[in-house]
Amino acid sequence: MDSYGFLKVDTQADQRSRVYRVATLGAGIFIHLMVCWTVLSIGYMNIEPLQFLGIASLSGAGFLLFGVAILLEWNLSLEDPDMNLAQMIWAVSVVIMTAYFSIELKPVVVLSGLAMIVLGANRLTKNELMIFAAYSMVVYIASVSYKAQFNSLSWITEIVVMIAFGLVLVFGPILYRLEMVMFENTLIDKNAELTTALKRIRELATKDELTGAYNRRHLMEVLSQQKAMADRRDYCFTLCYVDLDFFKRVNDRFGHSAGDQVLKGFSEIAQSILREVDCVSRIGGEEFVLLLAGTSQGDAKLAAARIGEKLTNLQVSSIEPNYRITASMGITEFRRNEEISQTMDRADKALYDAKRTGRNKVIIADLDE
């Protein structure tokens, strides 16, 4: 699908979400109207049932208009296609209108409408929220003042309702957003913990726990990737098989803990000399495989020599500070279109030749094999 197709799908998803939000707000106002009808039925609203039905019909028509505008995509030409502020103003106007006719249960009428409005107001921007709150307070005060011309009002009740009205309008969305921020921060922390755990699991699945070198499975994955690149274009990579010379003597002479330190020491030396694109892997015991990406076997031999030289400076045990360990290495370069197993067998044979002919040396596999 082209970029236009993706844009169209995104627009359709946004429009469906907008219709859902209009329907949700409309449902909240419908519940408010049901509360008002109950108050009217017990005689605490100064309005005729037919007039109330007219207000309810007008309210429903407004939300229907919002829904039609979205379905016909008229809203897409607006600066705010969500029409959040317009919906909030319409909803609060319905609440204030019904509150105007209430007698003694005005707090019930007002707060039943504000419950859903506060949730909707959370979608407003900071400037929109201030406009919405100012509009609501001005219209509410105007309705109370206008009603005072005809009826005696309990001003204490009206002031309390007015304060509650303002606090809910202004601080309700703010508190809701603070709660959402705290919830999001909790999710971020949990996500960070999950990411760390997944990273640890990935390391356990791909790395040798003792040395920090990669394991055989990861090595085979990297080899497959390197082979794919080498078979398609002018690209080379080299394998270096490594065996620590007479490693068993270290375990027998100084203990397995000293042997473990030697293994870790070699892994750290190899990783310090090779690059991040290369791969240092331990395939068992004292055997390692080094994969040098984009490197010829000649350059790989130079790197192997540096590793071997640095290894001779590694102190095996404080009991015998002068005791040193060496390594034998067999090197071969991948040959285009051959199987990975062939490359590995050739490097292994070169390693065997290095061990057979005296150890502590680097041998490149015979190109004529």
Catalytic residues: 286
Distance CA 109, CA 39 (A): 8
Cβ burial, residue 113 (10 Å; 0-12/13-18/19+): buried
Give the Cα separation of 222 and 187 in Å (integer).
34
How do 327-333 and 362-364 pair as beta strands? parallel
1 Cβ contact partners less than 8 Å away, ≥ 6 residues apart = 9
What strand order describes the sheet that includes 287-293?
A: 279-284, 287-293, 237-244, 327-333, 362-364
Distances (CA, A) of 228 to 234, 298, 331: 11, 22, 20
Q: What is the rounded CA–CA span in Å between residue 34 and residue 130?
A: 29
Closest to 96 (Cα-Cα) out of 136, 62, 135: 136
- The set of residues, in sequence order, having a beta carbon less than 8 Å from that of 149 and lying 6+ positions away, is none
> Angle, to 10 degrees, between the axis of helix 3-41 and the axis of helix 84-101?
0
Q: How far is CA 46 from CA 92, 100, 313, in A?
A: 20, 9, 97
The torsion angle over the Cα atoms of residues 68, 72, 77 and 83, rounded to 10 degrees, is 30
- Hey, is 161 helix, strand or coil? helix
User: What span, in angstroms and rounded, lies between the C-alpha atoms of 165 and 140?
Assistant: 9
Q: 3-class DSSP state for residue 320?
A: coil
